[in-house]
Amino acid sequence: SRRKVEIYQYVVLKWTLALLIGLITGIVGFLNNIGVENISGLKVLLTNNLMQQQKYEEAFAMYVGCNMILAVGAAALCAYIAPAAAGSGIPEVKAYLNGIDAHSILAPSTLFVKIFGSILGVGAGFVVGKEGPMVHTGACIANLLGQGGSTKYGLTWKWLRYFKNDRDRRDLITCGAAAGVAAAFRAPVGGVLFALEEATSWWRSALLWRTFFTNAVVAVVLRALIQFCEEGGGQCGLFGKGGLIMFDVNSAKPAYTTPDLLAVILFLGVIGGLMGSLYNYLIDKLLRTYSIINEKGPIFKILLVMIISFLTSCIRFGLPLLSKCVPCPGECPAPPTANFHDCPPNHYNDLSSLFFTTNDDAIRNLFIDGQNTGFQLSTLIIFFVSIYLLGIVTYGVAIPSGLFIPVILAGASYGRLIGTMLAPYTVLDTGLFALLGAASFLGGTMRMTVSLCVILLELTNNLLMLPLVMLVLLISKSVADSFNKGVYDQIMRLKGLPYMEAHAEPYMRNLVAGDVVSGPLFTFCGVEKVGNIVHALKVTSHHGFPVIDEPPLTYAPQLCGLVLRSHLLVLLLKHKTLFTREKVMTTSTVTNKFKANDFAKPGLGRGIRVDDLDISKEEMEMFVDLHPITNTSPYTVVETMSLAKAALLFREVGLRHLLVVPKTPGRPPIVGILTRHDFMPEYILGLFPHLNHQ
Amino acid sequence: SRRKVEIYQYVVLKWTLALLIGLITGIVGFLNNIGVENISGLKVLLTNNLMQQQKYEEAFAMYVGCNMILAVGAAALCAYIAPAAAGSGIPEVKAYLNGIDAHSILAPSTLFVKIFGSILGVGAGFVVGKEGPMVHTGACIANLLGQGGSTKYGLTWKWLRYFKNDRDRRDLITCGAAAGVAAAFRAPVGGVLFALEEATSWWRSALLWRTFFTNAVVAVVLRALIQFCEEGGGQCGLFGKGGLIMFDVNSAKPAYTTPDLLAVILFLGVIGGLMGSLYNYLIDKLLRTYSIINEKGPIFKILLVMIISFLTSCIRFGLPLLSKCVPCPGECPAPPTANFHDCPPNHYNDLSSLFFTTNDDAIRNLFIDGQNTGFQLSTLIIFFVSIYLLGIVTYGVAIPSGLFIPVILAGASYGRLIGTMLAPYTVLDTGLFALLGAASFLGGTMRMTVSLCVILLELTNNLLMLPLVMLVLLISKSVADSFNKGVYDQIMRLKGLPYMEAHAEPYMRNLVAGDVVSGPLFTFCGVEKVGNIVHALKVTSHHGFPVIDEPPLTYAPQLCGLVLRSHLLVLLLKHKTLFTREKVMTTSTVTNKFKANDFAKPGLGRGIRVDDLDISKEEMEMFVDLHPITNTSPYTVVETMSLAKAALLFREVGLRHLLVVPKTPGRPPIVGILTRHDFMPEYILGLFPHLNHQ
């Protein structure tokens, strides 16, 4: 039968798209890595050549110049092509999955800038990661695939129409976000958990399975491509094992005593949590300052990026000069970072092995176990302080910038510092301390638990430290939670995205739905005059209008349902043949005139606007029956319903409009419509300021 | 302020309980292991001693006798004390977390039998696991802790009253279930994911965090206790490293070629999925047969257990006689299984190293990499067939019996069999084949994905095979899903538990809420005569009644809200002073007469029943105001609401009652109440049989 064929098409297409998302995200993640590794490698090689010829000034100029060119490239892409591509992207994806329909977030231009801006930005030596941008990239790829084709470019296919709705798009974008984490960290299970814990707002078991599949594809693709590079020998340029993070922390079974545990809890858990929340606080303050600068225009954005780039280059190149050369602990590290700053043979500069390399390699060096490498205390202190501050001042400039890597760098150097100081008193390895430090900072800023834990375990491939990592994450998150919110929530709030929390605020229990509903309300009759509809569409920006059946169609006025602005526009633009001169209901066969695609949610295009309507004066006086396009099963609450319960319904069922109906009979059948904005704390506390003081 | 103190008490208590659940479950899991290891070890030692004296008949009698005594012990506990403790327990926990309030499932007697029955049952050599029972045990412990004290034993404490509600109890029991997996497998992250993917029906981010904390506690407790045993030297009896499963599959990086991948997909993924769904089908058929036997009485239950025990003992002891002794591949295995069945020096019986040992050790032997041990093809075939069938015939007898271990055993032997056969053509290790075989069987029977994947990785401590495990799980689940449902869903259905699925069935879209609402409806007035209430409570078993305000209280009849049976019973039993001779509303100060605990959800006790009421004839004629105990914000839907949408609301918000109101004015203000049973497919398809054929 036709129905079974459609279900089959839908299922096949959904899995195919999940496969494609995994495939493309995996390839993009791999190319991103090749790009970054080759750019950084080339830059270090050029600089190092000049250094070895004792031309320090030229080397410095070369280093600063390379970084500056790359940085300006990234900033120009961001400032002129897609401003939405700046920053991490995780808050935007999270907001979209919560139901905030801002299409520029996931537009193709954003995707383009996110990919290349991230390569340039990370290549420019900024203290930024590629993980957040990869999540955004994955989501953009998923959004592009889930568009349902493109009428503009003639890429339409009957099958694709199934994805012209919010729910399926959201599912795909969840898969994309998960695939982004999987591709960035090579952590497929961590990616699934990230999508579950941080990204998505509505979770179903089927979605778990689909993201899992997508991430399995990513894992297989990455593995195949890495094998291709390894076996090929040089065909990937300077792409080494540094490309995709997989730190082998080679410490054996972590044995620990009770004092060790207390030290870890106190120094890493508690202080890490404090440092993490301070990080969030400072980022919040700085973002507000930066936004003033960034609003002045693209030139100012680029200037700001140039200043930060120069600062970063100076620190990365100059600070190692402060550090003495130390004897190599065993073998000396490989040339690029080895005899940097002119160390004698069998000596190396340990500060330059952290600063004068890629962020990934710096993390790898910090995680190495304590038997093989030791860092001087001064090195760790200098590195920690400068990376902590650089990470904060870099986020918010107009380049795609992930937060994971800066936080891991700061946390790992902090942990290693504590580990080195406590070394005489503890049996725990200093490399393990670095890992736990990274966990504590991540917990303190991002406030995730299970997903961070699994990501860290997948990164380090050692399951035996699980209990310690769990403990540190829990403590640092608890400590930080008592000061402020997670960094992504903060950024979302700063951007003014109306995120709907999973729980209702306590003061909502003292309010009822009728308290926050506001008017004036535009309602339509079941058969409405075209002119009235056009007027309502023009003077309001509402996305939904209640439809009320009135006598003589019914005995008394009663609520028929809800009609959407977008559906009204389609009806008025494409179905003028349905207009009637008299106020009569059409026959039920009218739905045959609609095509399956007519009322589908449009893709990236701007959709129909009121101005696109071309309705003659005569037509304005005609009537149109709204019943065929009315949702006759809208969710409703009585006006005396507790606002907290209404919020729960709104959030859990995933609504955009919630109709409020009167309690007592004899009144008009609708009181108002609750939308996302009516549940925002700012709005409610604006209406009832006294609730704020409770 | 008082409110802040209460919030503080609540938060502290909730975390304390999560800690206690982790602590106790960890200890129970450890003791369970010590018990099983010591019992099994002693049994094997005794038998082996007789064998070495060439007394084969005595050895056989000793082995069968020991097993029989242990089996009868387990069966007697189950049959006489707590029949609910038989089986896995996971379906029951899943049903409880879906909102099915069957208290015997989590009663203290069930807990007692589950712990000791499981030790005896596993010790008796049955092909059953301790994982399912541990999940049930964890849930029981959580339920006991979340009772809010016990009035019977005087264990009441003001703080505990916060847990006298469904939601907090469900949260705790989710933690308990997760802790059970963590304690059984030493897989804390896998436990969290299991709770999320399989057990719970409503998931919140806060719950993720709390289960994570509980499991971190379990991990720390287990680690400390194992360290205590290892360092103590013999103070844990025969408890060895076999106790808690942690298989180190020592194969290095799994390299594979495309033909390998195809072989894995075809032989393990597809055929594993088929075998898994066949397993489910056979278990379903056998359970129906067994339930006929088990219903005849406890004696029949015990007899059935004895038959299966004898069968198991014969197979475990006798089948190895069919196998030849083979030279030890390197070192010979340790004595108990080594020279069993009288092998010459430097020889061993490989079939007995699988049969004549604990299930955990058999799995460990199957997972060992192929370089160190080889099994004969005949050994693997015999073992696979007998374990596959034994696992099926054992589930359903009256002992606590987990399904994980039988399925892993069957899958691992199947995988190893395929691996041994394909050895000349593949570079993949046979031990890896065994692991993938276990994954495919688990995917085929239980139909979980992420949680199984993480549990397997935590068991084997090798993250590098992640992509392969993911692939096999996905394929076997997809293949099996096209035949039947997961084994836990099947068992739930067989037990008649009204589980509410996350999605609405397609035929529900063609129905409206009014179609399935049934029954003569009992409603109360806002101020109702006591006699009417008692009558309604006696003649119906409804748990909720609509309250309607009528003139002269209001202008027209209107819905006031919903009152619960349990609250009515409390009012009629404890608050007779509120009865009035006239039909008048009480003042608002009346709520001061209620104590905080009065309307709390009772714990394990049976609560108040209608028969407990002691109302005089005079009181029957009096009135009582129901407003103070009425929920005035019930969720409602209009009778023309699509049934699919009503089901979504019911499921997502987690309701027990959904009021259906009329669409047109002028009718009584309530049409009926939808409960869980009204959404069950059997009920709806009974009302509308033609929908079945669509």
A127 touches A387 (CB < 8 A): yes
Q: How many angstroms away from the CA of B22 is the closest CA of chain A? A: 13
Question: Cβ of B254 under 8 Å from any chain A Cβ?
Answer: no
Tens digit of each residue's pLDDT (9 = 90 or more) over B550-566: 887 788 888 899 999 98
Pair (B401, B453) in one structural domain = yes
Residues A356-364: what's their mean pLDDT? 85
Mapped onto helix, strand or coil, the DSSP state of residue A335 is helix
Of all helices (H) and strands (E), which one includes residue B434? helix B430-446
| Alpha-helix runs per DSSP H in B98-240 | 108-123, 131-145, 166-185, 188-194, 205-232
Strand duo B326-327 + B347-348: pairing: antiparallel
Out of A218-222, B245-249, B292-296, least confident range? B245-249
Residue B247, domain member (yes or no): no
pLDDT at residue number A263: 81
CA A589 to chain centre: 45
Residue B325, domain member (yes or no): no
Pair (A40, A78) in one structural domain = yes
Question: Cβ of B613 under 8 Å from any chain A Cβ?
Answer: no
pLDDT at residue number A502: 84
Whole-complex ipTM:
0.86
Tens digit of each residue's pLDDT (9 = 90 or more) over B142-153: 988 887 666 566
Best probe of the B interface among A19, A181, A262, A466, by most B CBs < 10 A, is A466
In angstroms and rounded to an integer, the radius of gyration of the C-alpha atoms of chain B is 29
Best probe of the A interface among B7, B23, B181, B189, by most A CBs < 10 A, is B189
Residue A319, domain member (yes or no): no
pLDDT exceeds cutoff 90 at B271: yes
pLDDT at residue number B69: 95
Nearest residue to A684 (alpha-carbon basis) of A477, A428, A511? A511
Which of A279-283, A478-482, B84-88, B218-222 has maximum average pLDDT?
A279-283
Contact between B450 and A192 using a beta-carbon 8 Å cutoff: yes
Pair (A153, A194) in one structural domain = yes
Q: pLDDT tier at A609 (50, 70, 90 boundaries)?
A: confident
pLDDT exceeds cutoff 60 at A339: no
Measured CA distances, A119 to A94, A106, A179, A219, A246 (Å) = 23, 19, 18, 21, 19
Residues of B in contact with A208 (CB under 8 A): 197, 449-450
Check whether the bond before B552 is cis (ω within 30° of 0): yes
Q: How far apart are CA A261 and CA B167, in angstroms?
A: 34
Read off the tokens for A305: 């990026």
Last residue of a domain, one of B630, B658, B683: B630
Q: Is the dihedral of CA B43, B45, B49, B55 positive or negative?
A: positive
Q: pLDDT tier at B313 (50, 70, 90 boundaries)?
A: very high
| Alpha-helix runs per DSSP H in B580-642 | 617-620
Pair (B192, B107) in one structural domain = yes
Contact between A216 and B471 using a beta-carbon 8 Å cutoff: yes
Q: How far apart are CA B364 and CA B372, in angstroms?
A: 13
Tens digit of each residue's pLDDT (9 = 90 or more) over B22-32: 999 999 999 99
Pair (B47, B185) in one structural domain = yes
Out of A12-21, A291-300, B98-107, least confident range? B98-107
Q: How many angstroms away from the CA of A386 is the closest CA of chain B? A: 32
Residue B240, domain member (yes or no): no
Last residue of a domain, one of B630, B661, B677: B630
pLDDT at residue number A260: 79
Residue B245, domain member (yes or no): no
Maximum Cα–Cα distance across chain B: 99
Nearest residue to B75 (alpha-carbon basis) of B116, B129, B111, B16? B116
Show the 3-state SS of A350-380.
CCHHHHCCCHHHHHHHHHCCCCCCCCCHHHH
Tens digit of each residue's pLDDT (9 = 90 or more) over B47-70: 888 888 888 888 899 999 999 999
Range of the domain at B172: 2-232
Residues A6-12: what's their mean pLDDT? 83
Question: Cβ of A648 under 8 Å from any chain B Cβ?
Answer: yes
Q: Within the 492-551 window of chain A, which residues sit less than 8 Å (CB to CB) from chain B? A: 502-503, 512
B98 touches B201 (CB < 8 A): yes
B337 touches B356 (CB < 8 A): yes
Q: How far apart are CA A437 and CA A445, in angstroms?
A: 12
Q: How many angstroms away from the CA of A17 is the closest CA of chain B? A: 16
Check whether the bond before A320 is cis (ω within 30° of 0): no
Question: Cβ of B664 under 8 Å from any chain A Cβ?
Answer: yes
Residues B568-579: what's their mean pLDDT? 86
Q: How far apart are CA B481 and CA B276, in angstroms?
A: 10
pLDDT exceeds cutoff 80 at A257: no
Mapped onto helix, strand or coil, the DSSP state of residue A673 is strand
Number of cross-chain residue pairs from A and B with Cβ atoms under 8 Å apart: 151
Share of chain A above pLDDT 90, in %: 39
Q: Into how many domains does chain A fold?
A: 4
Contacts of B662 (CB under 8 A, 6+ apart): B638, B639, B668, B669, B670, B671
Nearest CA in chain A to B554: A664
Pair (B18, B105) in one structural domain = yes
Question: Cβ of A97 under 8 Å from any chain B Cβ?
Answer: no
Nearest CA in chain B to A191: B450
Task: Kindly report the CATH number assigned to the domain that includes residue B363.
Answer: 1.10.3080.10
Q: What is the DSSP string of A254-265?
A: ----HHHHHHII
Measured CA distances, A455 to A44, B225, B306 (Å) = 29, 28, 48
Residues A585-596: what's their mean pLDDT? 72
pLDDT at residue number A338: 44
Residues of A in contact with B209 (CB under 8 A): 449-450, 474, 477
Q: What is the DSSP string of A105-122?
A: GG-HHHHHHHHHHHHHHH
Residues A265-293: what's their mean pLDDT? 93
DSSP-derived letter for residue B227 is H
Contacts of B374 (CB under 8 A, 6+ apart): B329, B420, B430
Q: Name the average pLDDT for chain A.
A: 85
Contact between A666 and B555 using a beta-carbon 8 Å cutoff: yes
Pair (A568, A621) in one structural domain = yes
Pair (A153, A44) in one structural domain = yes
Q: How many angstroms away from the CA of B422 is the closest CA of chain A? A: 22
Question: Cβ of A555 under 8 Å from any chain B Cβ?
Answer: yes
Residues B657-673: what's their mean pLDDT? 87
A460 touches A199 (CB < 8 A): no
Question: Cβ of B192 under 8 Å from any chain A Cβ?
Answer: yes
Residues A429-447: what's their mean pLDDT? 91
pLDDT exceeds cutoff 60 at B335: no
Nearest CA in chain A to B227: A255
B186 touches B218 (CB < 8 A): no
Specify the higher pLDDT residue, B249 or A468: A468
Residue A421, domain member (yes or no): yes
Nearest residue to B114 (alpha-carbon basis) of B74, B170, B54, B149? B74
A610 touches A569 (CB < 8 A): yes
B451 touches B413 (CB < 8 A): no
Residues B515-534: what's their mean pLDDT? 86
Pair (B67, B134) in one structural domain = yes
A587 touches A498 (CB < 8 A): no
Measured CA distances, A680 to A102, A520, B416 (Å) = 17, 20, 58
pLDDT at residue number B267: 84
Pair (A532, A512) in one structural domain = no
A412 touches A460 (CB < 8 A): no
pLDDT at residue number A384: 95
Residue A448, domain member (yes or no): yes
pLDDT exceeds cutoff 70 at A336: no
Tens digit of each residue's pLDDT (9 = 90 or more) over B370-382: 666 678 888 899 9
Tens digit of each residue's pLDDT (9 = 90 or more) over A150-189: 656 666 666 666 777 788 889 999 999 999 999 988 888 8
Residues of A in contact with B512 (CB under 8 A): 633
Residues B247-253: what's their mean pLDDT? 53
pLDDT at residue number B290: 93
Residue A611, domain member (yes or no): yes
Out of A645-659, B3-17, B320-334, B647-661, least confident range? B320-334
Closest partner residue to B653 (CB to CB) among A208, A642, A648 is A648
Half-sphere exposure of A664 toward its Cβ, with a 13 Å CA cutoff?
8
Q: Is residue A477 exposed (0-12), middle (13-18) or buried (19+ Cβ within 10 Å)?
A: buried
Pair (B679, B564) in one structural domain = no
Nearest CA in chain B to A560: B663
Specify the higher pLDDT residue, B259 or A247: B259
Stated length of chain B? 694
Pair (B456, B557) in one structural domain = no
